[in-house]
Amino acid sequence: MAGEASGDAIGAALIEGVRARCPGARFVGVAGPKMEAAGCEAWYSLEALAVRGFVEVIAHLPRLVRLRRELGARFLAERVPLFVGVDAPDFNLGLERWLKHRGVHTVHCVSPSVWAWRRERLQTIGRSVDRMLTLFPFEGKLYEDAGIRVDYIGHPLAQEAATLASRRRTRETLKLASSTPVFALLPGSRLSEIEMHAGLLIATARKILEVRPDACFQVPLVSRVTREAFSRALHTFGAEGLPVTLLYGHANDALQAADVALVASGTATLEAALARCPHVIYYRVSALTARIVERKLLLPYVGLPNVLAGRFVVPELLQDAATPANLAQAALNLFDDSVTRRRMDTVFAGFARDLAVDTGALAAVAVLDELRSAGVEC
The domains found in the chain, sorted by start residue, are: 5-154+357-373 (3.40.50.2000), 162-355 (3.40.50.2000)
Between the alpha carbon of residue 32 and those of residues 2, 276, 367, the distances in Å are: 7, 26, 20
- Give the integer Cα–Cα distance in Å for 122 and 110: 14
**192 close to 56: Cβ distance less than 8 angstroms:** yes
**366 close to 133: Cβ distance less than 8 angstroms:** yes
**Coil, helix or strand at residue 275:** coil
The runs of H, that is alpha helices, within the chain are: 5-21, 33-38, 61-77, 89-100, 121-128, 140-145, 164-173, 191-211, 224-236, 251-257, 267-274, 287-296, 304-309, 324-336, 338-355, 359-373
- Give the integer Cα–Cα distance in Å for 89 and 111: 8
- What's the first-to-final CA gap in the chain, in angstroms? 21
pTM of the model: 0.78
DSSP symbols for 206-234: HHHHHH-TT-EEEEEESSHHHHHHHHHHH
List of residues 6+ apart from 73 with CB closer than 8 A: none
- Give the integer Cα–Cα distance in Å for 278 and 200: 20
Residue pLDDT tens, the chain, 378 long: 998 888 898 999 999 999 999 999 999 999 999 999 999 999 998 777 665 554 455 666 788 888 999 999 999 999 999 999 999 888 899 999 999 999 999 999 999 887 666 677 888 899 999 999 999 888 999 899 999 999 999 988 888 888 889 999 999 998 899 899 999 999 998 888 999 999 999 999 999 999 999 999 999 998 889 999 999 999 999 999 999 999 988 899 999 999 999 999 988 999 999 999 999 999 998 887 777 777 766 678 889 999 999 999 999 999 999 999 999 999 999 999 999 999 999 999 999 988 889 999 999 999 999 999 999 988
What does the radius of gyration of the chain's CA atoms come to, in whole angstroms? Answer: 21
Crossing angle of helices 338-355/267-274, nearest 10°?
100
Between the alpha carbon of residue 331 and those of residues 64, 102, 176, the distances in Å are: 38, 51, 19
Q: Which of 109, 97, 43 is nearest to 74 (CA)?
A: 43
Greatest alpha-carbon pair distance for the chain in Å reads 64
